[in-house]
Amino acid sequence: MAALHDLTALEQGALIASGELTSLELTEHYLERTARLDDVGAFVTVTADRARDQARDADAPRGSDWAGAKQPLYGVPTAIKDLNLTAGVRTTFGSAAFDDFVPEVSDAVTEAIEWSRMPSLGKTSTPEFGSPCYTEPEGRPPAVTPWDRTRMAGGSSGGAAAAVAAGLVPVAQGSDGGGSIRIPASCCGLVGLKPSRGRISGAPMYGDPVGLSTAGTLARTVRDAAALLDVLAGRRAGDPSWAQPPTGPFLAACDRAPGRLRVARFITPVISDAPVDPECVEAYEDASRLLERLGHDVVDVPVPLSEEAVPVFETCWAVLTALSAAPPDREHLLRPLTRWLSERGRAVTGPEFGLAIGAMRRFAAAALEALEPYDAVLTPTLAAPPLLVGELRDDADPARDFEAQKAFTPWTSAWNVTGMPAVNLPLHRTPSGLPVGVMLAARPAEEELLLSLAAQVETAAPWHDRRPPGWT
């Protein structure tokens, strides 16, 4: 008989809906696993008593007409990234400068999870302000992939990815401003979905005026990722942008055939001239052949985003880092990379920042126009399999650290610039068993088509039964 954590999140939700399992029983199962098996650096803070209270609330009798009861992940445990405000729960933003910060309000992502009665086991680890593509917060264990605990889980949603990949929660929310969901999804062998700009509300802080970052989902299957997107998606009245509403639940899109699609592909790195590991090339070529076998037309295209967009993106990234500044009396606690990026950001004048945002929107428009004839875009997710812990981090030379991150992640940020939805699919493994993902993107607001295609790929080459060491 399969253990509870062997089941998909949707299967667990179905057991709760049928009365065969309570949310509290499932929450206790995952709390026990987290206490015993979190050697992957998944959690910064475990909120066991709060999770139990939330589970009891989910198990309380309610009227059959209550809309939340129709949510297929109702009562299923999850976790919340340590960048997301959670009222009454320590939220450190991955920084020693905020080690004792407890917000008074929750953000829209946390509220959506709580409204759906998904108990949160706690806060998952993230690097300082979610900036690096590795999760090695100061004074805490690094987040590592459970496929090889000497190697990184990626970042910045590394803790969330490690938690899902190790079976500590069935699904988890992450956030993605330059690849921060898709990078750890590739490192940990997961589905990692970054939705379109405006699909998920950034209320109440709206901390990214550029529009690069969005919340998204990490899961072991496409259907689970889609179901969690249904939980998180929706706009608030004050949102500066919003994606066109879907025709129905995103989960339903996974059960529809996508039809014959035109798929663009390119492997030339976008933001770095770094070499691409042969395993990542093989994953990309294998995915191309699979898409062709499924009946799709795969077409080689030039890189759609100009090289001139790279310094513009870096200017915006540096300013966003500066906006995350710590209180003056705690700035000495910031990591060297954060201080270096913040100094770059503070050197940018207001007019220069405004011009950079305008330039980035024009680069995005050109890329979107170039890709308009295609239903989807295929690239590698990363330029290498998961690296050793500490291989990218260089506190003595933050500029070198930053360039090394770009070389490792030369494609992911392109879709943050354009606002397109993008998903990592864990199709490939190295001979030693390390996961290597490929990335599919779609036109803005076309998550339904992207999920339909991703589900078709998963059916043709399933990965759900893969288990990392330590799973049991």
Residue 67 has a pLDDT of 56
Q: What is the pLDDT of residue 16?
A: 95
Mean pLDDT across 94-105: 97
Task: Compute the average pLDDT of residues 136-161.
Answer: 97
Scanning 166-234, the segments in alpha helix (DSSP H) are 182-188, 222-232
As a whole number of angstroms, the distance between CA 188 and CA 424 comes to 11
Q: Are 288 and 265 in contact (CB under 8 A)?
A: yes
Residue carrying structure tokens 């589900």: 455
Task: At 63, list the tokens.
Answer: 């009227």
Token pair in block for residue 155: 């970042």
Does 178 score more than 60 pLDDT? yes
Indicate the pLDDT class of residue 202, thresholds 50, 70 and 90.
Answer: very high
Report CA-CA distances (Å) from 25 to 4, 28, 58, 309: 10, 5, 11, 50
pLDDT above 80: residue 271: yes
C-alpha 433/C-alpha 118 separation (Å) is 32
Closest of 393, 391, 437 to residue 194, by C-alpha: 437
- Confidence at residue 2, expressed as pLDDT on a 0 to 100 scale: 85
Statement: residue 422 has pLDDT above 60: yes
Assess whether pLDDT exceeds 80 at residue 64: no
pLDDT digits (tens, 9 = 90+) for 21-46: 999 999 999 999 999 999 999 999 99
Q: Is residue 226 over pLDDT 70?
A: yes
Whether residue 407 is predicted with pLDDT greater than 60 in this model: the reply is yes
Query: Average pLDDT of 361-390?
Result: 98
Out of 145-149, 240-244, 445-449, least confident range: 240-244
Provide the sign of the torsion angle of the four alpha carbons 113, 236, 345, 176, taken in this order. positive
What are the domain boundaries of the chain?
9-460
* Assigned architecture for domain 9-460: Alpha-Beta Complex (3.90)
Percent of the chain with pLDDT over 70: 98
So what's the pLDDT on residue 68? 57
Alpha helices in 60-181 (DSSP H): 108-115, 158-165
Interatomic CA distance for residues 168 and 184, integer angstroms:
16
Structure confidence by residue, pLDDT tens digits, 143-155: 999 999 999 999 9
Dist CA 203 CA 85 (whole Å): 10
Angle subtended by helix axes 9-18 and 222-232, to nearest 10: 70
The Cα 377–Cα 470 span in angstroms is 35
Instruction: Give me the helix-helix angle, 108-115 and 222-232, nearest 10°.
Output: 110
pLDDT, residue 472, reads 86
pLDDT digits (tens, 9 = 90+) for 303-317: 999 999 999 999 999
**What is the rounded average pLDDT for all residues in the chain?**
96
Q: In this predicted model, what pLDDT tens digit does every residue of 245-260 receive, in sequence order?
A: 999 999 999 999 999 9
The interaxial angle of helices 447-460 and 278-293, nearest 10 deg, is: 100
Residue of 310, 301, 333 whose CA lies nearest to 405: 310
Residue positions annotated with a catalytic role: 81, 156, 180
**Alpha-carbon gap, residue 211 to 85, rounded angstroms:** 19
Put residue 433 in one of left, alpha, beta given phi > 0 → left and psi -120 to 50 → alpha. left
